[in-house]
Structure 1
Amino acid sequence: MRNPNGTGSIFKKKGKSRKPYIVRAAAYLTEEGKYKRPIIGSAETLKEAKKMLFEFNSRNLNVDYADLKLIDLFNRWTESNHVKNIKTEETFYRYSTDFKSIFEDILECKFIFLDYKDYQTRLDKYAKNKGKAALTVLKSIYVDAIKNKIVSENVPLYLESSSQITKTVERVVFEDNFVRLLWKRYKNTKDRYSAMILMLFYSGMRSADLLRIENKNINLKERYFVTGSKTEAGMNRQIPIHHLIFPIIKRFINDDKYLFKEQYDSLKYQFDKILSEYNTSGNLHSIRH
């Protein structure tokens, strides 16, 4: 299907395909003196293909980054200088979790094609504090994307978190009996999650720090380990190993990078299940009280 010169083209693949319409950008001359016609993407219908090509041309998008997804930019953010400026590991995990939960269904979408509506409609569905955390991450992502000429438009400038207010979570002080039940559970099942939760109780560390303990930073002889926090506040902090959890650490230490491979979401899910099982209220952060 011909379009005006310099605007790209659309063609339909033969055979059966869920997205048969292929969208190409206009040809350009490479540094090697060869013409290149990069593929922008594919679409299910001709209408969608035309919209994709129109957006690409009207927004002056960079075809070299057409395959980059939002999740790719998020992963870059987790390793960026923006994260180093976050004061606590707990804040880092809150930002990460809120961002991924709000934008969950567009994480695999191509980044350069996402616009104001894609983000704002999702922010409107969540509470203000959660939206503000997600926006903080998104703004940093766009700062780096603009610097690297992935996009030219700073979309987050026009975005707003919703006006919904959430209630403050009440902190709970766990009773000794709950800890005794955890020990009984661990001794009967050797459950990894029970072991991890017990380590939180006897170390006073944040769950985020627990998940970043590297095996190389565990000193069994002198009975301490060093946290692997990404933030300055928790970086290289030595924590003594309580004698009750020493056998746990000795059992789970391994040749891989981290002591535990589990993610925060799975730890939180399992902890909530245990709380429900023992008819107890609270959250991971309450362990530190």
Structure 2
Amino acid sequence: MRKPNGYGSIKKLSGRRRRPFVFVVSEHGRQKPVEYFATQVEVEIFAADYNKIHHRHSLPGHSITLIELYHRWLPAHIADTGPSQSSLGSYKNAFRHLSDLHYESVTKLHYTDYQRILDGMKRRGLSYSSLKKVRSLISLLEKYALKTEIITKSYAQLLSIGRNKPVRPHHTFSRQKINRLWKSMDYPGVDSVLILLYTGMRLCLFPSHLHR
């Protein structure tokens, strides 16, 4: 897409740099760097905002993509809530699961698009916790998009992630089962089970080479 005259340009600097992308504008016939960024998405967002503020230029027909929405939402969310590093890591991981939708227009994403991602995660055997984090991120992104009037409808509350089924559910021993164990003391290993039950100790399995 051709940018308007005076819009400025984006360049990627050579070498290994923490922030290799730079937005430059022409000033008195020379290019002046305005700001440096780690990713192209971040510099594209900055360029669009810079031109709206300084020159009232905007790209014709531009529609905000999901990845652009994410990079707009994240700084605002950090400023409002001050999330922990752990939460920031969760957002990053959750957004990675949405990679198939990163460059889709936010206004064209619907329930079926988001649900397809969650259903694919379930088929791959990902945990309930992972699905919940992705749905939560979708909700946060949609709330920001509604607030900034990018979209007019939210789908997060309609998304299904199934029920939380523990991989290894724990079952308590009933009094009847414990009494049967006491009556079966002659069987090998029963005394060990009772010791574990009454002391709260946990069984620890060591690699076979440690027993040699």
Q: TM-score range by the shorter chain?
A: 0.3 to 0.5
Under a length normalisation based on structure 2, what TM-score does the superposition of the two structures give? 0.43
More RCO (CA 8 Å, sep 6+):
1
Under a length normalisation based on structure 1, what TM-score does the superposition of the two structures give? 0.32
Larger radius of gyration: 2
